[in-house]
Amino acid sequence: MRIGIVGSGNMGGGLGKLWAKAGHQVIFSYSRDENKLRQLATLAGQTASFGPPAEAVAHSEVILLAVGLSALEEVIHTVGSLDGKVIITCVSGLQPDFTGQTIGLATELKNSVAERIQQLAPHAKVVEAFNITFAEVIGSESRQFGSDRPSVFYCGDDSDAKKIAAGLVEDCGYEAVDAGSLIVARSLETLATAWVQFSVASQLFPNLGLKALRR
């Protein structure tokens, strides 16, 4: 799978390295520091490279959007055509210091961040994922918590895109849990804000994982 990382910070960089090590072709992009992109590609191995966001999008089947909310619309408008691309988004509305809207979605969005991305790129296949795990867990040697794998919920409207996303979730060492259609992103993003706030308030951040238990 060819994967373009648009937003190569802790989340995007960490996921990109895991996917490259799993054998996917990864292009890191969108960083203030080109040397950081070069270093990420070097650490990720022979299947990784780096370049501008438009190049990452043009040469990839799957796009990971891991940018700040304030930059989202500008990024989507400047990366070129997203038609037919699978977009996995972990874009969060939470502020970097974990303040702001604690429960629920910012009223100015009127829907989820994932739904807004779908509106901005109507011919792309948007999947919400990775918003209830932490970059520190992604960047650690293993995603295991003892004998347990943490769960990552994902949702979207395109079944093929969801299968691709589920496989990429599993490639990172998580259990992929299908949460339904893209409208469920409203609930997942709300859960994510509560999850971050709880982990910080309980002083368990970042050594905490969420597990879906089945009977």
Q: How many CA atoms lie within 13 A of 67 on its CB side?
A: 24
Residue 87 CB partners (closer than 8 Å, separation 6+): 62, 63, 65, 117, 121, 124, 125, 126, 127
Q: For residue range 99-156, list pLDDT tens digits in order.
A: 544 444 454 556 899 999 999 999 999 999 999 999 999 999 999 999 999 999 999 9
**Angle made by CA atoms 118, 137, 189, in degrees to the nearest 5:** 30
The structural architecture, per CATH, of the domain 2-201 is 3-Layer(aba) Sandwich (3.40)
Confidence of residue 197 (pLDDT cuts 50, 70, 90): confident
Q: For residue range 5-44, list pLDDT tens digits in order.
A: 999 999 999 999 999 999 999 999 998 889 999 999 999 9
Residue 95 in this model has a pLDDT that exceeds 80: no
Q: Once rounded to an integer, what is the mean pLDDT over residues 67-86?
A: 95
